[in-house]
C-alpha cells in the first residue's frame, strides 16, 4: 500500500503546537500528573497526640518528608474530623459558595497528602477555578515582573524596573548571568522600582548565601529561591533537607525579609527520583513542607519544569490543582506562568486563563517587562511584546490581573528618571560611570541591543567591592538624597523602615504606593459568591478600560466634514427620467456631512470614478440625494425607480455601493459591493461601467472584489460610527432631491 499524504495533515504538522513533544503516561518513571496507581491511599492514625500512621506508612516507615509534615503541617485538632469527611464532600465544599474560605482552610489543615490528592481528583478545571477564586489568600490579585537584561546593564535594568513599577507590578525579580553582578543588579532593581512606584517589592534570584547577604544589606525585600522537592533523593541532590530549608525561612524573617518557597510538578521526575508517585502527590508533599516550615507562601505551578507536565495528559489541570492546594492550605501563591510553556500562542493563553480568571496572589511568578532575549530566567512565557494583549484581555473579561494601561510619555518619563537615579547613585558611591548616552539609550530602548557596551571588568570589580564593603541601602538613600532624588531616597528609606515594622512578612503581603500593606491578615479574600469578594470596579476598572489606543467615539460621530472638492447643489425634487440613463443615488451625508469612505477614499474621487465608468459606455447620468433613509438598498432602489433605464446605483457615505433595478425587491439587487473597506477607485469605475451596461441591455461580468476577511474586524467600530453619522443626516421631509454636481 502506498503511503499517501494529506495536504491538511502536512500543514498541521508544521503548526507551532506540533513543535511540542507529547508522551503517554509511564508511572514507573514519574511520567504521570495525577492519580498514579502506586500513589498512597489516604489514611491517618493519631495516638497520644502524635501521628503514628499516615497514608499507609507507619511512623517507622516515614521518610524525612513524611516526618516533617506529620510534625509541622497537620493540625491534629482538625485532622480526625477532616479525614472522616470524605474527599468528595471536601471537593464540593471547595466549590460551594456558601462554605466560607476559612472553613475550607480548617478542613485542609487536617488532611494528609494522599487525601488532598484525592480531593483534587474530583474537580474539573472549572471547579478548580471556582475554588481558586475563593481560596486565594489576598483579596486583590497581583502580578510579578521579571526584570533582567542580557548585557546586565544597570542603567537599563533601572529603567525597566521603573517601567514595571508604573505598569502596576507589585513585585519585581531579577537574576544574573554572571553571579558577581548580583550586587549591582539588586541595587539597580531597588532604585528603579521605587521610581516607577514606591512600595514595589524586589528580589534577586542567586545563590542562597549571596541572596541572604544582599537582603541583609537592604538591597532586596523578599526572596523566593527556597526550593523544596517531594522525594528525599531529590532533596539531597539540592543539598538540603526540610529542616535546613525551614531554618532559612526563619533566617530571612529575622532580617525583615519576606520569603516564599519554590516547588512544582515534574522536578522530581526530571531529577530521576519520582519514585512512581504522581507529580501532584509529590507536589502536595512539597506544599505541606512549605506550610510546615512556616513560610507565608510558595511559587508553584511547575515553574521551570512546566513543559514536562504539559507533555502528559491532564498536565495543565494538574498544575492548576497544585496552585489550588497551596491556596487551600493558606499559602500565598505565585502561580507559575513564568517559564516558556508552549510554542503555541493559543495553548499558552488557554493555560494562563486558569490562573488569570480566578485570580491568584501573583498570576505569574514573573512576567518579563523586556523582550524575551533579555530574560535571564531562560526566556519568559510572557514578555514586553505581550503587554498590550494582557491589558486587552483584562478589559475583555473585566478581570484585574495586576497591570494597568500606561501612556508612552509616562513610560519614557519614569524610565529616564530611573536611569538618571541609578546614574547618580553610581556617581555618588564611586562606581564606574553611567554616561548620559546610556541614560538616553535606556530611556527609549527596546532591548539591550540598544545599549552601549560597558566595561564589564570594571563593573564586576566595583560590584565585588560593594558587596564586601559595609555599604548598605542606607548609603543608597544618602546618595539619592544628595543628588536631587529626594523622593526616591524617601521611598528606598521607607522600604528600610518597613523592615523594622515587619508587616510584610505576613501571608500574601504587598504594598500600595503609600506603603500600606495588603495581606491575607488585613485584606483577606472574602469571596462567597456573586456580589462578594474582590470586584473589578471604580477607579481600577476605569483604569483597565482606558487603553491609550481606545478611540473616542464622540469624536467619530460628532465630527462633520464636507468634501471641498465636490459641490452638490440641490436643484429641486428629483423626478423620473427617460432614456438610457443611470441614476446615481447618494446617502444623506455624502460629501456634505462626511467626506471619505471606510477605504479612506475622498467622496469626490469616488463619485468621479463612478461617473467616469458610466460615461465610458456613453451612457448619461443623473445624481440624486436620498434624504429619507440610509440603507443602501433603499438608496439604490430609490435611484432606480427614478431612472429612465430602470438602473440606479446606490452609494452610502461609508462607501458601500450597489446596482439596483426598478421592480426588484429591495434586498434583491444586480450587484453589491459590500466590503467598503476593500474597494478602490477602480472598483467604483467598474461599477459605473457595469450599471451603464445594464442600462443598455447588456450583461457585464460582475465587478471583481478583493477579499479581506479581517476588514470587518478592523473596521467594525468605524463602520458603526460612520453609519451613525449618515443616519443623523436623514431628513424625511426632503425625500429625494436632484443634485447639480461640480468637481473642483
Partner 1 sequence: MTKKTDHTFPLGVHHRDDVAAKSGRMLRDLNLDDVKSGAVGPDDTSASAETLILQAQFAREAGYNEVAANLTRAAEMTRMPNDEILAIYEALRPGRSTYYQLLSLSQRIASEFAAEETGAYIREAAEAYRDTGLLKMDGDKTS
Distance CA 347, CA 307 (A): 12
Min CB(101)–partner 1 separation in Å: 10
Q: Is 446 in the site for partner 1 (CB under 8 A)?
A: no
In the complex with partner 1, the residue whose CB is nearer, 195 or 693, is: 195
Cα dihedral: 639, 643, 648, 652 (round 10): -20
Site string for partner 1, 24-63 (x = CB under 8 A): --------------------------------------xx
Considering only residues 638 through 677, tell me which ones interact with partner 1, judged by CB under 8 A. Answer: none
Among 486, 512, 513, 537, binds partner 1 (CB under 8 A): 486
Q: Which residues are catalytic?
A: 144, 146, 173, 224, 299, 338, 365
Strand partners, 145: 172, 367
Site string for partner 1, 508-537 (x = CB under 8 A): -------xxx-xxxx-x-------------
Among 1, 14, 209, 667, binds partner 1 (CB under 8 A): 209
In the complex with partner 1, the residue whose CB is nearer, 71 or 575, is: 71
Min CB(255)–partner 1 separation in Å: 7
Distance CA 633, CA 642 (A): 14
In the complex with partner 1, the residue whose CB is nearer, 64 or 461, is: 64
Q: Is 125 in the site for partner 1 (CB under 8 A)?
A: no
Q: Is 506 in the site for partner 1 (CB under 8 A)?
A: yes
Q: Is 67 in the site for partner 1 (CB under 8 A)?
A: yes
Min CB(251)–partner 1 separation in Å: 5
Min CB(539)–partner 1 separation in Å: 21
Cα dihedral: 547, 549, 554, 560 (round 10): 180
| Residue showing cell 440610509 | 630
In the complex with partner 1, the residue whose CB is nearer, 27 or 502, is: 502
Work out the angle at residue 582's Cα, subtended by the Cα atoms of residues 579 and 588, and round it to the nearest 5 degrees: 135
Min CB(44)–partner 1 separation in Å: 18
- 505 CB contacts (<8 Å, ≥6 apart)? 253, 256, 258, 296
Give the DSSP letter string of 353-398.
HHHHTT--SBS-S-EESS-GGG-TTTSBSS-GGGHHHHHHHHHHHT
Read off the C-alpha cell for 179: 553571579
Min CB(240)–partner 1 separation in Å: 6
Read off the C-alpha cell for 519: 495581606
Considering only residues 72 through 91, tell me which ones interact with partner 1, judged by CB under 8 A. Answer: 72-73, 75
Contact 404, 387 (CB under 8 A): no
Q: Is 496 in the site for partner 1 (CB under 8 A)?
A: yes
- 736 CB contacts (<8 Å, ≥6 apart)? 573, 574, 585, 624, 625, 626, 627, 628, 638, 642
**Which ranges in 398-472 belong to alpha helices (H)?**
408-428, 436-444, 456-468
Angstrom CA distances, 423 to 221, 460, 557, stand at 22, 16, 49
In the complex with partner 1, the residue whose CB is nearer, 230 or 292, is: 292
CB neighbours (10 Å) of residue 742?
11
Q: Is 227 in the site for partner 1 (CB under 8 A)?
A: no
Among 19, 102, 698, 706, binds partner 1 (CB under 8 A): 102
Q: Is 593 in the site for partner 1 (CB under 8 A)?
A: no
Q: Is 142 in the site for partner 1 (CB under 8 A)?
A: no
Read off the C-alpha cell for 94: 471547595
Read off the C-alpha cell for 274: 519520582
Q: Is 473 in the site for partner 1 (CB under 8 A)?
A: yes
Q: Is 380 in the site for partner 1 (CB under 8 A)?
A: no
Considering only residues 291 through 320, tell me which ones interact with partner 1, judged by CB under 8 A. Answer: 291-296
Amino acid at each position: 500500500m502506498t503511503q499517501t499524504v494529506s495536504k491538511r495533515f502536512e500543514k498541521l504538522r508544521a503548526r507551532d503546537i506540533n513543535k511540542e513533544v507529547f508522551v503517554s503516561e509511564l508511572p514507573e518513571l514519574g511520567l504521570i500528573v495525577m492519580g498514579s496507581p502506586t500513589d498512597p491511599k489516604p489514611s491517618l492514625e493519631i495516638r497520644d497526640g502524635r501521628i503514628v500512621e499516615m497514608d499507609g506508612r507507619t511512623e517507622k516507615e516515614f521518610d524525612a518528608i513524611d516526618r516533617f509534615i506529620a510534625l509541622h503541617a497537620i493540625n491534629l485538632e482538625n485532622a480526625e474530623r477532616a479525614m472522616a469527611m470524605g474527599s468528595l464532600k471536601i471537593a464540593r465544599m471547595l466549590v460551594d459558595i456558601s462554605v466560607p474560605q476559612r472553613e475550607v482552610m480548617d478542613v485542609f489543615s487536617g488532611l494528609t497528602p494522599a487525601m488532598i490528592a484525592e480531593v483534587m481528583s474530583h474537580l474539573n478545571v472549572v471547579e478548580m477555578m471556582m475554588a481558586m477564586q475563593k481560596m486565594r489568600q489576598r483579596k486583590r490579585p497581583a502580578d510579578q515582573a521579571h526584570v533582567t537584561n542580557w548585557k546586565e546593564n544597570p542603567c537599563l535594568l533601572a529603567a525597566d524596573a521603573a517601567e514595571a513599577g508604573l505598569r502596576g507590578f507589585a513585585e519585581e525579580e531579577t537574576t544574573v548571568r554572571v553571579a558577581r553582578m548580583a550586587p549591582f543588579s539588586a541595587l539597580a532593581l531597588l532604585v528603579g522600582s521605587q521610581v516607577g512606584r514606591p512600595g514595589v517589592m524586589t528580589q534577586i534570584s542567586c545563590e542562597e548565601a549571596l541572596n541572604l547577604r544582599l537582603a541583609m544589606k537592604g538591597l532586596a525585600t523578599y526572596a523566593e529561591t527556597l526550593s523544596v522537592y517531594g522525594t528525599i533523593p531529590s532533596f539531597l541532590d539540592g543539598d538540603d533537607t526540610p529542616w535546613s530549608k525551614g531554618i532559612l525561612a526563619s533566617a530571612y524573617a529575622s532580617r525583615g525579609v519576606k520569603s516564599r518557597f519554590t516547588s512544582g510538578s515534574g522536578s522530581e521526575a526530571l531529577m530521576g527520583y519520582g519514585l512512581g508517585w504522581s507529580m501532584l502527590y509529590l507536589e502536595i508533599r512539597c506544599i505541606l513542607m512549605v506550610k510546615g516550615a512556616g513560610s507565608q507562601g510558595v511559587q508553584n505551578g511547575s515553574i521551570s519544569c512546566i513543559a514536562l507536565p504539559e507533555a502528559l495528559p491532564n498536565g495543565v489541570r494538574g498544575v492548576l490543582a497544585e496552585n489550588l492546594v497551596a491556596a487551600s492550605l493558606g499559602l500565598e501563591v505565585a502561580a507559575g506562568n513564568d517559564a516558556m510553556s508552549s510554542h503555541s500562542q493559543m495553548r499558552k493563553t488557554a493555560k494562563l486563563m486558569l490562573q488569570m480568571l480566578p485570580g491568584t496572589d501573583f498570576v505569574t511568578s514573573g512576567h518579563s517587562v523586556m523582550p524575551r532575549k533579555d530574560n535571564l530566567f531562560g526566556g519568559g512565557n510572557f514578555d514586553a511584546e505581550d503587554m498590550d494583549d494582557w491589558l486587552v484581555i483584562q478589559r475583555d473579561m473585566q478581570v484585574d490581573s495586576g497591570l494597568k494601561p500606561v501612556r508612552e510619555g509616562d513610560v519614557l518619563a519614569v524610565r529616564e528618571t530611573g536611569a538618571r537615579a541609578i546614574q547618580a547613585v553610581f556617581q555618588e558611591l564611586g562606581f564606574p560611570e553611567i554616561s548620559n548616552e546610556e541614560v538616553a539609550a535606556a530611556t527609549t530602548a527596546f532591548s539591550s541591543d540598544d545599549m552601549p557596551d560597558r566595561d564589564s571588568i570594571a563593573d564586576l570589580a566595583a560590584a565585588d567591592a560593594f558587596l564586601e564593603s559595609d555599604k548598605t541601602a542606607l548609603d543608597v538613600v544618602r546618595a539619592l538624597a544628595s543628588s536631587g532624588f529626594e523622593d526616591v531616597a524617601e521611598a528606598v528609606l521607607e522600604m528600610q523602615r518597613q523592615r523594622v515594622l515587619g508587616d510584610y512578612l505576613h501571608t500574601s503581603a504587598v504594598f500600595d504606593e503609600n506603603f500600606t500593606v495588603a495581606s491575607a491578615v488585613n485584606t483577606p479574600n472574602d469571596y462567597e459568591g456573586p456580589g462578594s469578594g474582590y470586584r473589578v470596579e471604580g477607579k481600577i476598572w476605569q483604569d483597565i478600560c482606558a487603553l491609550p489606543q481606545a478611540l473616542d467615539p464622540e469624536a467619530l460621530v460628532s465630527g462633520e466634514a464636507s468634501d471641498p472638492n465636490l459641490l452638490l447643489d440641490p436643484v429641486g425634487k428629483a423626478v423620473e427620467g427617460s432614456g438610457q440613463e443611470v441614476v446615481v443615488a447618494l446617502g444623506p451625508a455624502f460629501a456634505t456631512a462626511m467626506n471619505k469612505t471606510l477605504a479612506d477614499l475622498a467622496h469626490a474621487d469616488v463619485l468621479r470614478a463612478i461617473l467616469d465608468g458610466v460615461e465610458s459606455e456613453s451612457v448619461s447620468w443623473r445624481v440624486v440625494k436620498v434624504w429619507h433613509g440610509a440603507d443602501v438598498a433603499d438608496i439604490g432602489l430609490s435611484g432606480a425607480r427614478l431612472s429612465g433605464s430602470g438602473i440606479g446605483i446606490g452609494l452610502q457615505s461609508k462607501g458601500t455601493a450597489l446596482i439596483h433595478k426598478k421592480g426588484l425587491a429591495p434586498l434583491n439587487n444586480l450587484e453589491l459591493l459590500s466590503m467598503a473597506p476593500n474597494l478602490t477607485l477602480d472598483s467604483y469605475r467598474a461599477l459605473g461601467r457595469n450599471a451603464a451596461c445594464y442600462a443598455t441591455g447588456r450583461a457585464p461580468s460582475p465587478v471583481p472584489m478583493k477579499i479581506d476577511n479581517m476588514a470587518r474586524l478592523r473596521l467594525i467600530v468605524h463602520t458603526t460610527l460612520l453609519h451613525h453619522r449618515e443616519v443623523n443626516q436623514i431628513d424625511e421631509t426632503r425625500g429625494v432631491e436632484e443634485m447639480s454636481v461640480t468637481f473642483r
